[in-house]
Amino acid sequence: MKIERIIEQSFGLLGKVLNESIALKSGEDFRNAFVYRHARNIYQLGQDVTCLLDSGHLDSCPIVVRVMLESLFKLVAAVKKPEAAAQIVLSEVEDDLGRIKTWLDPMGCAPAITRLSDFSKRLRTEHGITSNKKWNTLACAEAADLGTNYRHEYFHFSGHTHATTGGIISQELEGGRGHVLQTLLFIVVCAVGHAVQTIQTHTPQQHIDESARLLKELLKLVEKGAFQELDRYNERV
């Protein structure tokens, strides 16, 4: 299978899952909504990356792919650990609350502080959360059993995101198109295979089987060096 074809099929499958999940949604289950939103975020950002690549604008792609990885870690963590969705959101809210209280004017931000405080209390009560665990990106990746992806792809793209000197130099020396596409497709296919285990669709097993097939095709392309060849092509031009 050619890279163009697997891109088309992978995004087509995730788009189909998202459309079906909207059509069958009957009530706002917190975990399902969490998984759905991160799957949608992956789809939308992935579409942006493919547009950037097609137009020859590669430089910002690693930054967007890194965000997609964060969504994947959170999505899969919530699928593997049912309690994770509410705990991740709570951790995010409490982090925001701490920053507002530390960095901003508490009087001017009083309405936001009250709103976030009430929401965090409600989350703890409704979901029986007693832990104060900080669900940072690494914690989400480990809960998702994607620690290797955190140490490799996420670490690689972090240099671009934080504008480190090493990240800028790496961007000067490497084409990056192949690595971006390889990681992008893994995120999209992996998101489908996990999302349909939680959010309701017409044919979940069919979607799982299709995502497994696409993952095998992706691995074949990796083994053949198709993505490395894209990087070498970028270096030549």
Concatenated DSSP letters of 49-72:
HHHHHHTT--TTHHHHHHHHHHHH
Shared domain check, 172 and 155: yes
Percent of the chain with pLDDT over 90: 81
Q: pLDDT confidence of 172, banded at 50, 70, 90? A: confident
Q: Is 2 left (phi over 0), alpha (psi -120 to 50) or beta?
A: beta
Question: Residue 85: is its pLDDT beyond 50?
Answer: yes
Say which amino acid occupies 128: G
User: 148 burial class (0-12, 13-18, 19+ CB within 10 angstroms)?
Assistant: exposed
Residues 151 and 217 in one domain: yes
Over residues 105-155, the pLDDT tens digits come to 989 999 999 999 999 999 999 999 999 999 999 999 999 999 999 999 999
Identify the domain containing residue 7 by its residue range.
3-76+136-236
Are 169 and 232 found together in one domain?
yes
Same domain, 72 and 94: no
| Domain count of the fold of the chain | 2
pLDDT band per the 50, 70, 90 thresholds, residue 198: very high
Helix, strand, coil fractions of the chain, as percent rounded to 5 = 80, 0, 20
Q: Model confidence at 174, in pLDDT bands (50, 70, 90)?
A: low
The predicted model scores a pTM of: 0.93
236 band by pLDDT with thresholds 50, 70 and 90: very low
Indicate the length of the chain as a whole number. 237
How many C-beta atoms surround the C-beta of residue 151 within 10 A? 12
Q: Are residues 157 and 61 in the same domain?
A: yes
Residue type, 167: G
Shared domain check, 148 and 34:
yes
Residues 52 and 159 in one domain: yes
Average of per-residue pLDDT values in the chain? 92
Q: How far apart, in whole angstroms, are the C-alpha atoms of residue 177 and residue 57?
A: 10
| Local confidence band at 176 (pLDDT 50, 70, 90 cut-offs) | confident
Please tell me the predicted confidence (pLDDT) of residue 24: 67
Pick the more confident residue, 173 or 166: 166
Above 90 in pLDDT, residue 94?
A: yes
Q: Can you read off the two tokens belonging to residue 55?
A: 């137009």
| Contacts (Cβ under 8 Å, ≥6 apart) of 159 | 166, 167, 168, 170
- Looking at 128, 162, 190, the residue that finishes a domain is 128
Given this model, what pLDDT does residue 171 score? Answer: 74
On the 0-12 / 13-18 / 19+ scale of CB atoms within 10 A, 85 is buried
Do 146 and 37 sit in the same domain of this protein? yes
Residues 218, 118 share a domain: no
CB distance 192 to 211 below 8 Å: yes
The reply to whether 120 and 35 lie within a common domain is no
pLDDT of residue 233: 55
Kindly state the percentage of the chain with pLDDT values over 70. Answer: 94
Q: Are residues 226 and 157 in the same domain?
A: yes
What's the pLDDT at 23? Answer: 72
Q: Is the dihedral of CA 140, 176, 179, 187 positive or negative?
A: positive
Among the listed residues 78, 12, 11, 88, the one whose alpha carbon sits nearest the alpha carbon of residue 46: 11
Among 112, 128, 144, the domain-final residue is: 128
Instruction: For residues 161 and 225, state if they share a domain.
Output: yes
Nearest to residue 138, comparing CAs of 91, 199, 94? 91
Place 208 in a pLDDT band, splitting at 50, 70 and 90.
Answer: very high
